[in-house]
Structure 1
Amino acid sequence: MNNLELLRNALNDHQNVMKQLESLLPQIDTVGQVMRECLQRGNKILLMGNGGSAADSQHIAAEIVGRYKRERRGLPAIALTTDTSILTAVGNDYGFDYVFSRQVEALCDPQDVVVGISTSGNSGNVVKAIEVAKQIGAITVLFSGGSGGKLADMCDYALVMPSKETARIQEAHLFIAHSVCEIMDVE
């Protein structure tokens, strides 16, 4: 297979996943409304994930705190992936599975929205954080792929991408993140 064939196949796979997102639009709308209502109540959004999903968490938090399209005041969102001192201290003292749950324990209030991003739906540290968020009374949202893994049944809202391929799942997550930001930006 030459490079052009490789690229055409990747583009076709991407387009097929994006077309299948049509069936998730009602769920995406609901999650956007839930997040918008959270911010309107004066609550905050906490986001987490590993690797590319950590970057997605930071991207979404930046769109919420900064702005998406329209000028507005900054809104409260925190990517739990950014504080290296917390991540390394908790990872060292408690283990990597606790790097997000300790932050949720410390920062989360009832009715906050906690977003776990895990392409497999099985990331141990996201699972533990969602467990803590549920105990606190937060609203939990999952961005995942494949079957949605363990987290799909744990979260109040599970947006499971119709793919098993990490790259395609992450591409769909970005579309959903921007879609949710679009909904949150409506006055």
Structure 2
Amino acid sequence: MLEQRIQQQFFESADLLYQVAEGLSRPLAVAAQMMVDALTAGGRVLTAGLGTSAADATYMASLLSGRFEQERPGLAAIALDAQAQGYADPASALMRQIQTFGHPGDLLLLYEAQASGAAAALLQVAHAQEMSVIVLSGTQDDDWRGTLLDTDVQLRVPHSRFARVAEAHRLLSHCLSDAIDLQLLGAGE
């Protein structure tokens, strides 16, 4: 019984990835181009996430500033710290950091696997800084979708289980990293 439940986790994850592959390929290409445009114009990518999504934001910043699968110069990416000292809640810490570090031409890459209720406020702060936004989200995000501008991109993984959304977000991060490297370096080996 336990083995079947474990196998079901794999099957459910694989099914979700197959279901979203076609629908997300175009917005992923647009998002990757947005990131390349920002970086090559001297802007930075600020990554952010609340709760366990903060780890995804840190991971993505390390892929950009370090490397993905090919050696290349580091790209200007900063993971914002939702646990910054002196703030009543993580969302307030992120808002302050977006205000402090975000400049026109920069891009906010926001991970929102679980609805936190703070996404709308973070988007508004980024827009006030004249930043574009890419949001990697899950299913329960209807309350802030109206905050997205035409220049923003949402990469939505429609699933009710947080674990499946988080798994897909890791793959989306890899897809973005690969697409950025392809555009900057050409096809690797």
TM-score (norm 2): 0.88
Q: Deviations over 1:109-143 (max 9, x none)?
A: 1121101111234432x432211111111001110
List gaps (5 residues or longer) in structure 2.
185-189
Does the CA-based 8 Å contact 2:49-2:112 persist in structure 1? yes
> Residue 14 of structure 2 corresponds to which residue in structure 1?
15
Alignment of 1:1-187 (within 5 A): 2-22=1-21, 23-81=23-81, 84=83, 87-89=84-86, 91-92=87-88, 95-124=89-118, 126-155=119-148, 156-186=152-182, 187=184
Q: 1:81 to 1:123 in 2, by over 3 A?
A: farther
Q: Distance in 1 between matches of 2:11 and 2:90?
A: 37
Q: Distance in 1 between matches of 2:90 and 2:54?
A: 14
Higher share in helix: 1
Q: 1:53 to 1:28 in 2, by over 3 A?
A: same
Q: Distance in 2 between matches of 1:37 and 1:60?
A: 17
Cα RMSD for the two superposed structures = 1.6
Q: Deviations over 1:69-111 (max 9, x none)?
A: 11111111111127x5xx121x14xx44311010000000112
List gaps (5 residues or longer) in structure 1.
none
Runs (4+) off by over 4 Å: none
CA displacement at 1:36 relative to structure 2:
1.1
**Percent pairwise identity:** 23
The alignment partner of 2:122 has SS state of helix
Does the CA-based 8 Å contact 1:28-1:180 persist in structure 2? yes
How many aligned positions are there?
179
Q: Distance in 2 between matches of 1:140 and 1:55?
A: 18
Q: Deviations over 1:2-56 (max 9, x none)?
A: 2111112111110111001221111111101111111111100011112221000
Does the CA-based 8 Å contact 1:118-1:144 persist in structure 2? yes
